[in-house]
Chain A
């Protein structure tokens, strides 16, 4: 029996712990400075918005940990002393391990903006950030305008949060269209319109220059780089992406790049020290993926794989087809496979948008063969299992669209758009494909 110590009680740390317990009798300790129990970071927004209480973001009841013999320790790890196989905790305590898993997540980026550490300026990552926002922006009297800097997924979540308390929001986005670094332009443009329809002061193509303080050292305005304009506000949200949380490992001897360098076995350069989740950086991206993948699902998958390795079944991290999802105010988004903002060389995009301006899809495919590469779907839910299979089978876009009804995952009675989509497709490519009726048999057949 080994003592496996995990730093970080986020999705990756908790997943590896759960699976180790399923597979073995090792002693497991999870150390975290943030909260006593695992909670869902992705749900922080709903607590501020009043959809849930913090309690509801915890995926497991408190008794779960004891029952599964997973010890929890609330402490901050100052550094790792791998030569003696121990951790130094703040307060001076030393904590020994046999194997160490670093699942320490990310921290919000700050780019050295003047005023970035003023009161009223914050990111949104941790439970502490949530509490801070509650204090900074309890209502629209205490906060009569907020400026959100950075047009990514957390940025738009913060916008939505503040709107829920009727706080006017200015949203500074560096790109000319929202999230255009990731999404094809027509999708970004649809989201631009959607964001504006929620009465957000959306400023596309603008950068933050500085944050100005009032006499108490609290933010009172921001200035814009391109125009010099000063926008009065009393809360500034900095959401210009996240980076691996590795500062505390700087002198530990563990190899760092932007994140903690790992090989596909999720091993660091130091024996018995592993890294997973947001903080891990592959030497080279696996299967064309990015070396750092800071999303929920990949943290979970790394945890699933590493648990096998730690329990005597060496298993490289070898994720399947890419998928992801998000929600932009009222518009849900899912993606399966790869769709790039500009089609990769040799690829092309097929785009369909509904006249209501709240539903659209984009398919990336090989230009010559129309082989299906990936889909972005907005406002329409699609079945993960089928797209995963179609990607494995290397199906053509013709095939995918012909069977699109099988993949529809919207609630019953919702309007269907397969016909519409196909007629646009047939028009564009001179095909004559008709949508096939939904078939359970096909849905359940195995690849």
Chain B
């Protein structure tokens, strides 16, 4: 049994190595016809740029992706340099018209990687491109097989059903040891490449082209790779959850729910919509988590897509303004954060083993309140500016340029906070860094949960023994024990209702439930079990 898990681990690591190594494989050799198509598609008529790209890419030996990418970016840079010097020249000569005419030939640096990606996608040759099926088996196939071989024997190895936290603080993976740091480095690198150097991983997209084509009729982009990988990881790690928490039906049902929403609603339906020429839309992704919902390009695309576009527009607004708060009123924010949301879904599956690392210190709670509410304000200001500019045609509002704020938010919050830090730092800071400190939707849901919701975690009278399991395993860094040992219900805006505190409590003290608002918040000084007169005396104050 144990041997099987080692075998699984070996297979998994092999798959992971091939997957990672595949970046370095294969050649990129662009054909002139493909370049022409590319230039036509982009409407690029600038001759200098055409020549630069041609001389950098055409009639060359196949290059590796890094050389290819730097050749493309080099050509684009040369083009820009040329026009920059013209601009400077005309500027010195005060020939404003001529100066102004040069800008259109520059390529925005932000688009370098995307252009490199598109060209690489056309230029790929060699083993990977010719053996996509085999490559899938060697990467995803081995990865999945290995992981399952590692996980499924736990059914026996972990012993009878129950709480399985033995050795969490003895293992290098779950106690911030060297394994945790390696995972962190891998994840951070993965996100940085995905967000900022996507052309480097064009080989991954080749591997998934067949699946992408089958679903949407398009070749795979790096986002398709990410989406597919996300679903695969969640599914495999959900198997782990099913085994670990098989005694706990709340966990089983909840895991099934996030899995469903991720695979069907977030992944499959948008792909199918694309294949039907509709705008792709994740129906559960609520603004302001879905921060670009009100961006001009999205509104434009929705408005131009006829009935379905309008439906999405209305749905998106109703989702945020009505459905979300009403559901939070009845069930707490857990219905979203740990039953539906994709970020939550990854945290609860891939991240489960790291939940104990969220800091429970008072100072972290303070930081949390500052940060998450700042992000909420940031997202709202950004949206306000965007909408104002969209409707008035201006380019800025209250002194804030729309493009600048959208960009800043996308990079700072969308990529760095939610991705690189939010997921990359799982092994050290716990699995809900983003959900706790960053997510603007969570901040909004939190208000509703704190002030107007039927949800609470009931504390069972005087039964708490202050052991600390609940606080330790709360992924949101809530000091659950601080409430439980006072006999007080837990009503906290940040609680995502994962139910783990209740699961790990050895004395049956905690119950997540939805009930009447009266008596939901019940501060107590003297706990149930003591002298009734004393309780009345002290607690009435």
Bind each other: yes
Q: B82 — which chain A residues lie within 8 A by C-beta?
A: none
B107 touches A (CB below 8 Å): no
B511 touches A381 (CB 8 A): yes
Known contacts A381-B511, A411-B248; A388/B461 CB under 8 A? yes
Known contacts A40-B466, A57-B468, A301-B530; A444/B516 CB under 8 A? yes
Nearest Cβ on chain B to A80's Cβ, whole angstroms: 28
A320 touches B525 (CB 8 A): no
A70-78, A325-333, A425-433: which lies at the B interface?
A325-333
A257 touches B (CB below 8 Å): no
Partner of B512, one of A42, A198, A412: A412
- Binding site secondary structure of chain B: loop
B482 touches A59 (CB 8 A): yes
- Interface positions, chain A 13-62, Cβ under 8 Å from B, are 19, 22, 40, 42-43, 46, 49-53, 56-59, 61
Q: Which of A52, A301, A440 has the most CB of B within 10 A?
A: A52
B528 touches A385 (CB 8 A): yes
B504-540 vs A, Cβ < 8 Å mask (1 yes, 0 no):
1011100111011011000001111111111000100
**A299–B516 CA distance with the chains assembled, in angstroms:** 33
Nearest Cβ on chain A to B234's Cβ, whole angstroms: 21
Q: A49 — which chain B residues lie within 8 A by C-beta?
A: 165-167
B502 touches A (CB below 8 Å): yes
Q: B162 — which chain A residues lie within 8 A by C-beta?
A: 329-330
B465 touches A296 (CB 8 A): yes
B160 touches A330 (CB 8 A): yes
B168 touches A (CB below 8 Å): yes
A40 touches B465 (CB 8 A): yes
B502 touches A323 (CB 8 A): no
B196 touches A (CB below 8 Å): no
A415 touches B (CB below 8 Å): yes
A11 touches B (CB below 8 Å): yes
A323 touches B461 (CB 8 A): yes
B375 touches A (CB below 8 Å): no
A384 touches B467 (CB 8 A): no
A43 touches B468 (CB 8 A): yes
A413 touches B469 (CB 8 A): no
- Interface positions, chain A 271-315, Cβ under 8 Å from B, are 296-297, 300-301, 304-305, 308, 315
A414 touches B511 (CB 8 A): no
Nearest Cβ on chain B to A43's Cβ, whole angstroms: 4
Number of B residues near A (Cβ < 8 Å) is 60
A334 touches B (CB below 8 Å): yes
**A304–B532 CA distance with the chains assembled, in angstroms:** 12
Nearest Cβ on chain B to A299's Cβ, whole angstroms: 11
**A304–B516 CA distance with the chains assembled, in angstroms:** 30
A414 touches B249 (CB 8 A): yes
Which chain B residue has the least Cβ–Cβ distance from A381? B508
A52 touches B169 (CB 8 A): yes
A315 touches B534 (CB 8 A): yes
Which chain B residue has the least Cβ–Cβ distance from A324? B463
**A61–B34 CA distance with the chains assembled, in angstroms:** 65
Interface residue range, chain A: 35 or more
A95 touches B (CB below 8 Å): no
**A414–B503 CA distance with the chains assembled, in angstroms:** 12
B528 touches A51 (CB 8 A): no
A411 touches B507 (CB 8 A): no
Nearest Cβ on chain A to B85's Cβ, whole angstroms: 61
Q: B456 — which chain A residues lie within 8 A by C-beta?
A: none
B461 touches A384 (CB 8 A): yes
Known contacts A318-B531, A325-B507; A52/B160 CB under 8 A? no
A197 touches B (CB below 8 Å): yes
Partner of B531, one of A50, A305, A412: A305
B467 touches A43 (CB 8 A): yes
Which chain B residue has the least Cβ–Cβ distance from A444? B519
Partner of A51, one of B168, B461, B507: B168
Which chain B residue has the least Cβ–Cβ distance from A11? B466
- Interface positions, chain A 365-385, Cβ under 8 Å from B, are 381-385
**A49–B506 CA distance with the chains assembled, in angstroms:** 14
Partner of B249, one of A11, A332, A411: A411
Which chain B residue has the least Cβ–Cβ distance from A60? B482
Partner of B467, one of A57, A323, A382, A444: A57
Q: A99 — which chain B residues lie within 8 A by C-beta?
A: none
Partner of A320, one of B165, B166, B250, B530: B530
Known contacts A409-B511, A444-B519; A22/B250 CB under 8 A? no
**A415–B162 CA distance with the chains assembled, in angstroms:** 16
Known contacts A198-B160, A297-B529; A415/B362 CB under 8 A? no
Known contacts A22-B525, A384-B460; A51/B516 CB under 8 A? no
A319 touches B531 (CB 8 A): yes
- Interface positions, chain A 399-419, Cβ under 8 Å from B, are 409-415
B253 touches A413 (CB 8 A): yes
Nearest Cβ on chain A to B319's Cβ, whole angstroms: 24
B455-493 vs A, Cβ < 8 Å mask (1 yes, 0 no):
000101111011111011000000001100100000000
B249 touches A320 (CB 8 A): no
Q: A392 — which chain B residues lie within 8 A by C-beta?
A: 532
A252 touches B (CB below 8 Å): no
A132 touches B (CB below 8 Å): no
B94 touches A (CB below 8 Å): no
A321 touches B465 (CB 8 A): no
A411 touches B512 (CB 8 A): yes
**A50–B253 CA distance with the chains assembled, in angstroms:** 28
Q: B161 — which chain A residues lie within 8 A by C-beta?
A: 330
Which chain B residue has the least Cβ–Cβ distance from A166? B166
**A383–B460 CA distance with the chains assembled, in angstroms:** 6
A50 touches B485 (CB 8 A): no
**A197–B161 CA distance with the chains assembled, in angstroms:** 12
Give me 27 A-to-B residue pairs in the complex whose CB atoms sit less than 8 angstroms apart, sorted by A's number. Answer: A46-B467, A49-B166, A50-B166, A50-B168, A50-B171, A51-B504, A52-B468, A52-B469, A56-B471, A197-B160, A198-B160, A297-B465, A304-B525, A304-B538, A318-B533, A323-B529, A325-B465, A327-B506, A330-B162, A330-B163, A332-B508, A334-B507, A383-B460, A411-B249, A412-B250, A413-B253, A443-B515
Report A's interface with B, CB cutoff 8 A: 11, 19, 22, 40, 42-43, 46, 49-53, 56-59, 61, 63, 164, 197-198, 296-297, 300-301, 304-305, 308, 315-321, 323, 325-327, 329-330, 332, 334, 381-385, 388, 392, 409-415, 440, 443-444
Known contacts A46-B165, A59-B466, A383-B460; 11 further A-B pairs (Cβ under 8 A): A11-B466, A40-B465, A43-B466, A59-B482, A63-B362, A319-B531, A330-B247, A334-B508, A381-B460, A411-B249, A411-B512
